Amino acid sequence: MKAAVIVFPGSNCDRDMAVALRAAGAEVEMVWHKDAGLPRGVDLVAVPGGFSFGDYLRCGAIAAQSPVCRAVIDHVHKGGYALGVCNGFQVLTETGLLPGALMRNAGIRFVCRTVPLAVGTNDSAFTAGYARGQTLQIPVAHHDGNYFVDQATREMLEAEDRIAFTYGDEVNGSVGRIAGVLSENRRVLGMMPHPERAVDAGHGGTDGRAMLDGLVGALVAA
Amino acid sequence: MKARVQVMLKTGVLDPQGEAVRHALGALGFDGVEGVRQGKLIEIDLAGDDPEAAKRQVTEMCEKLLANTVIESYKIDLN
């Protein structure tokens, strides 16, 4: 199973993501934002956290226009998998691959702590390793994680069972405490919390492991 | 030709930064500040001098990059 981790100027969770995916059994290649294509045979594209392009204009807006993002959009349109974490989630909403937008946290402050995260659905390759309603402990670290969708889109996401995660307490003002959403074909997941930071007991917890292990396992089997 | 693009959060979308500014103004003793909304002003120098073409071009810029129309609205002024 082959994964590509995208690297923008300002990405800072790219290597953590690569380490976590390798630990889960993936073969990982780093891909620079100026590359016009993805490596041959990529099953999963991971868009990591960080501050791509210094968060200029809007978080993820400039990254979403980079050459590699056009390749990521093609990959997804062909049925490929993509995972966007934190800034990666912001990038995926800016490309239009996921609905909604991430705004400045309602409390204005940067939030950096481990939060309880409820699993909204286990009907995806990302979340199949969890039970619906299960509470995970996963770290967040963001200033702009306040997820906004209009009422009609929120109802559609609920009706289609596409809300992957919600916060167990008030973190950033997100509509419906939404922390992560799936695409219509359930192959793209964007989430503000960092599962790649929760794969090593020495770093405080391993609740992210079931996601990455399950995802890599599902794609190996596919 | 110069285009000035004003980008604001849409009405109904809570603006946490504007709210923080409103609180700060209150703390400084400015009474009667009922609301503050914060946006962006982007100035673009354009080579052409056809206002119609410029309007079309800048509208496309707004839709593709300058504004996120999920949460933001924009207004274009040309001169």
Asked if the C-beta of B11 comes within 8 angstroms of chain A's C-beta atoms, the answer is no
pLDDT, residue A222, reads: 75
Predicted confidence at residue B14, as pLDDT, reads 87
CATH architecture assignment, domain B2-78: 2-Layer Sandwich (3.30)
Of A119, A118, A101, A121, nearest to A174 (Cα)?
A: A101
Mean pLDDT, consecutive 10-residue segments, chain A of 222 residues? 97 98 98 95 98 97 96 98 98 98 95 98 98 98 97 98 98 98 98 98 94 95 80
> Which of A56, A58, A142 would you mutate first to test chain B, the one with the most B CBs within 10 A?
A58
Nearest to B68 among A58, A105, A108 (CB): A58
Strand, coil or helix: B73:
strand
**Residue-level pLDDT at A26:** 97
Q: pLDDT value at position A28?
A: 98
Averaged pLDDT of chain B:
95
| Predicted local distance difference test score (pLDDT) of residue A204 | 86
Instruction: Give me the pLDDT at residue A33, please.
Output: 96
Q: How far is CA B66 from the centre of its chain?
A: 9
Q: Give the predicted TM-score (pTM) of the model.
A: 0.95
**Do residues A198 and A209 lie in contact, with contact meaning Cβ atoms separated by under 8 Å?**
yes
Domain covering A2-221 in this structure, CATH number: 3.40.50.880
**Contact between chains at A105 and B14 (C-beta distance less than 8 A):** no
Which amino acid appears at position A42 of this protein?
V
pLDDT: is A221 or B55 the higher one?
B55
Contact A99, B9 (CB under 8 A): no
Q: What is the pLDDT of residues B6-32, one digit of tens each?
A: 999 999 898 999 999 999 999 999 999
- Residue A123: the pLDDT is 98
Share of chain B above pLDDT 90, in %: 90
What size, in residues, is chain B? 79
Per-domain residue ranges for chain A? 2-221
pLDDT of residue A90: 98
ipTM over 0.90: no
Give B-chain residues touching A149 at CB under 8 angstroms.
70
Q: What distance in Å separates the CA atoms of residue B28 and residue A188, rounded to the nearest whole number?
A: 47
Pairing of β A101-103 and β A146-148: antiparallel
